[in-house]
Chains A and B, each alone.
Chain A
Amino acid sequence: MNLILVSVLSLGGIGAVSAIILYFISQKFQVEEDSRIEEVEAALPGANCGGCGFPGCRAFAAACVKADSLENLACPVGGMPTMEKVANILGKTAMPVEPLIAVVRCGGSCEHRERTNRYDGVKSCAIVHNLYGGETDCSWGCLGYGDCENSCTFDAIHINPITLLPEVDEEKCTACGACVKACPKNIIQLRKKGHKSRRIYVNCVNQDKGAVNKKVCDVACIGCSKCFNVCAYDAISIHNNLAYIDDKKCTLCRKCVEVCPTNSILELNFPPRKPKVEETSNVVLNG
């Protein structure tokens, strides 16, 4: 009996003392934190993908609370609805953001771009890029080992086993930009999602001379300027033998697609054309 009493009392005593110490410590070291951070964080998707440019949702929430206006602060994953919620909580106004999507700018599938040597080593684009130009003779294009796929937290980009090129799942892609950073060749870019998801872009990043890259890939941009000449909106520029379509200026008129001699300009999610234009060899990546 006595034994039980002693143990209960001593244990209880230790417990009480510890509780008191803990209480004071927590008082002393308590961090004053804006309770709104908690609230904002709850409104965010919680993916911690870093797409907003902050290391995780909480940091972004803190930044939103601290900032005077929500300019330049946007959560690509939640998009407008989320930002409006955040704006409501903080009594600020959300800036409209254009929805973006990741776009893979290489059309060098196995069929179009012959593999001239065989790589045998770690299947990682970063490592291959560090070593040499890749299995094909095009040292600019996609290597196909899927660093983008591994970097995506939303399961939205996958290497197609037949073409060995990555394909973006439009439903799942949140434009967080992880794949853009992961790709050592800088092939992936975030572009305007576009009206009804329609997009036009140059599906190539090869800056070699036309005569050179024509040999290594059927669908390379050869920098011939045809699209540049046909564009009425000044949306196309040509640098280093490579055309680039500015998604801010492009009106999706589709003229350039027709004139490209190598079919390296891609149009996505457009209704089929009138039959007079032949459209057979253009691989449409709908993913």
Chain B
Amino acid sequence: MKTFKMGGIHPEECKFSAGKKTEVISLPKQVVIPLRHYSGKPSIPEVAKGDMVKVGQLIGRADGFVSANVHSSVSGKVVKIDNALDAFGYKNPAVFIDVIGDDWLETIDLTPKVKRTCDLESSEIIKKIAESGIVGLGGATFPTHVKLSVPAGKKAEVLIINGAECEPYLTCDHQLMLEKGEEIIIGITILMKAIQVKRALVGIEANKPDAILNIEKWAKTVEGVEVIPLKVKYPQGSEKQLIQALTGREVPSGGLPIDVGAIVQNVATTFAVYEAVQKNKPLIERVITVTGKSVPEPGNYWVRVGTPLSHVVEKTGGIPEDTGKIVAGGPMMGRALPNLEISVAKGTAAVLFIPSSESGRGKVQNCIRCAKCVFHCPMGLEPYLLMNRSEKNLLDELEQNRVMDCIECGSCSYVCPSNRPLVDYIRYGKLKVGELIRSRKVQQL
């Protein structure tokens, strides 16, 4: 079975909520819709205090290139536009809306019928996607239309669909593939049309045989889409690793997937593209997994963007007794939350409860140079060295040792027998080296 070549780990899978039918969570009293979804600039608010809004109405307009539109996920009245804590740990502008009824814009097609044909041109599709505020739902939340715009001089050859879901615990993509197989395949054909390629590869890890079967079944109805089962290994869902696993090509250091002719999209994003293009529905809701070892009923839920996590948690059984840590996203790359007043953003894939017995970190000991981190790094780096140099602020050496290649997957910290906080330091080193590189560029200008 295919997989990427170097490094990687296989953490305990813990997919408790696999196969749990998605349920819809009732609307909260108030939603707080962040105007910034992790990466890029916050969008500019299009509404003012006191305005009445409908579901799907534009409330934030993209500002600049790396930014995306934001739409209201509920109908009601805008109470204020203010800073709110997001999963990033800082306060960023957000729109507070009091929910009144559930009144959708008329332009949105709410019929359950699947619409198969799409006669839009490539540029029209991308424009539609940009208007609908679609961002990558796999975690990095990079605006999708930016990713789809192939830069001049480059040519896309293959579309890669990420259904790997390599993070432990998460099942939202899995469930989506089971329930919305047809829509996802149509979404794929739309994306193929958008970037003008004839071939699409869907990579799904082998621990989801039912999803593989379902997507394969629907893939037969269209041309050029191939489903490839992958060996279970983390971080398979990382762009570069997935491209290598599926096509054998290596994205050069410092390069982008398009450098090897590939464009990667997540399955959830693909579904959102289908809805935007065929049903005219902007990105206002997503599936999230609520899970954890101590959660009595782990499950997958449709949640409107902006719903406070406290509401989600309340509707799904409350906080388990001995919770020590709450993570937005998966355990390997998710972010620990300081409280539950944070609302669901477009990129929030899960709420994960970690019992207090597992929430702390082990005692840090000397590096025993066991080389486990080096062997498991999927990027072929030397984490022990990078950590040491970050600690000492030796930026030149860090750069020479390719700290910027690190994808922050956390495999190194995961395997280290001495519990060394490798990624923490490497992330810091990346930040510093990034600043250095930028200042150098500025000097050159």
Contact = CB atoms under 8 A, between A and B. Distances in A.
Contacts of A117: 338-339
Contacts of B360: 120
A192 to B, nearest CB: 30
A131 B336 CA distance: 9
A127 B338 contact: no
A246 to B, nearest CB: 27
B302 to A, nearest CB: 28
A208 B421 contact: no
Interface in B9-32: none
Contacts of B425: 122, 127
B361 A133 contact: no
A132 B424 CA distance: 13
B339 A132 contact: no
Interface of B is mostly: mixed
Contacts of A131: 89, 335
Given A120-B360, A121-B361, A132 B427 contact: no
Contacts of A137: 338
Contacts, number: 42
Interface of A is mostly: loop
A235 interface: no
B83 interface: yes
Given A120-B360, A120-B361, A130-B431, A208 B424 contact: no
Interface residues of B, number: 19
B339 A133 contact: no
B361 A130 contact: no
A130 B85 contact: no
Contacts of B91: 133, 139, 208
B345 to A, nearest CB: 15
A122 B89 contact: no
B361 A116 contact: no
A93 interface: no
A126 interface: yes
A137 B90 CA distance: 10
B338 A132 contact: yes
A132 B428 contact: no
Contact of A133 (B90, B424, B428, B431): B90
A124 B421 CA distance: 12
A93 B359 CA distance: 62
Which of A116, A122, A124, A130 has the largest number of chain B CB atoms within 10 A? A122
Given A130-B427, A133-B338, A139-B91, 19 more contacts: A117-B338, A120-B359, A120-B360, A121-B421, A122-B425, A126-B428, A127-B427, A130-B428, A130-B431, A131-B335, A132-B88, A132-B89, A132-B90, A132-B335, A133-B85, A133-B90, A137-B338, A139-B89, A208-B83
9 contacts: A116-B338, A117-B338, A120-B359, A121-B421, A122-B425, A132-B89, A132-B336, A208-B83, A208-B91
Interface of B: 83, 85, 88-91, 335-336, 338-339, 359-361, 421, 424-425, 427-428, 431
